[in-house]
Homo-oligomer: A and B are copies of this chain.
Amino acid sequence: MRGAVMHAPGDVRVEDRPDPKIIAPTDAIIRLPATCVCGSDLWPYRGVEAVEGPSPMGHEYVGIVEEVGGAVRTIRPGQFVIGSFFASDNTCEICRAGYQSSCVHREPVGALGAQAELLRVPLADGTLVATPDLPSDDLVPSLLAASDVLGTGWFGAAAAQAGPGKTVAVVGDGAVGLLAVLAARQFGAERIIAMSRHEPRQKLALEFGATDIVTERGDEGVARIKDLTGGLGAHSVIEAVGTQESMTQAIRSTRPGGHVGYVGVAHGVELAGQELFFSHVHLHGGPAPVRQYLPELIDLIWDRRIDPGKVFDLELPLERAAEAYTAMDERRAIKVLLRP
């Protein structure tokens, strides 16, 4: 099969890779009608994370089940399924508490390379959720968004306790930040402030439910949030970048007793204990337990009540994956959908 492989920072190639086979009896093999590039794929692409030899890329996936291992009980060939970037058994105590991305048996799917025609998914019964039927083509981008960026924005909004009566601010205007706006709207937040200086992203934020746009960053961005909230700060702030600047901005934009939900994978972030102590905020985040939310997200998409697939503003054949990385790296595209 064909699949995207990163050889070094800035060097992504689509090449022949061996077709995946069932290895464990709990595996499933799925065929992907669409896959995509994630903001987090840009960390190694930009050399911020090391690339340890040629690495198959991609951890977001939807697909039709081709084959299942002998121990798979609920997932069947022919189903259209969605899973998340960590395979999980969905039965351990951590999964049952809603933290499937820290499942005691979790396996990173990213290492298997979902930017490809086929994918092996471990722990299929625990990881995959089937749609009610085969989806129409126009639903596929939204279902693919649920695999990571929507589920991650959703977790950010949940961790920040977005809800009725709350003012929510979102730091980061990538796909996750934009979908955190959508999630906050679904959670019933009263006011949603998107922090963005990019006009097409501002527009999408407003479409997803933002009520205010703040273009300032850093201390000036914090000051604007305070201005908009009677000097107190937002009740809920979602951090969707993962840098020192964005975390600091998120914490300082939150009122005492408020909640920061942080879902940008932290890179080089150090939090000063004393500032955090006196900030009085709640801090929660990490790799989103997307599996927890998939049934609900699939329902919302299936009923066309949300359209998270709008974050895909560029579509390319898988063969042109390198262009997809470049477009996202240069912020010419929010998120690129790849067609194998």
Contacts and interface: CB of A to CB of B under 8 A. Distances in A.
B274 A267 contact: yes
A93 B267 contact: no
A101 B280 contact: yes
Task: Name the residue among A98, A231, A256, A269 with the largest chain B CB count within 10 angstroms.
Answer: A256
Contacts of A273: 242, 244, 247, 266-271
Interface stretch (A214-222, A282-290, A306-314): A282-290
A255 to B, nearest CB: 7
Interface string A242-262: 101001000000011100001
A265 interface: yes
A23 interface: no
A177 to B, nearest CB: 16
Contacts of A256: 94, 99, 102, 286
Contacts of A283: 276, 282-284
Given A270-B273, A273-B268, A282 B280 contact: no
A31 B106 CA distance: 61
Nearest to A286: B280
A280 B287 contact: yes
Identical subunits present: 2
A97 interface: yes
Contact of A277 (B244, B278, B286): B286
Nearest to A284: B282
Contact of A270 (B267, B272, B280): B272
Given A265-B274, A270-B272, A277-B286, 19 more contacts: A98-B257, A99-B280, A104-B231, A104-B232, A244-B273, A247-B273, A256-B286, A266-B273, A267-B274, A269-B273, A270-B270, A276-B283, A276-B286, A278-B286, A278-B287, A279-B286, A282-B282, A283-B283, A283-B284
The 6 closest A-B pairs by CB, nearest first: A269-B273, A102-B256, A266-B273, A99-B257, A271-B271, A280-B286
17 contacts: A94-B257, A99-B256, A256-B286, A265-B274, A266-B274, A267-B273, A268-B273, A270-B270, A270-B272, A271-B273, A271-B276, A276-B283, A278-B286, A278-B287, A280-B286, A282-B284, A283-B283
Interface of A: 93-94, 97-99, 101-102, 104, 230-232, 242, 244, 247, 255-257, 262, 265-274, 276-287
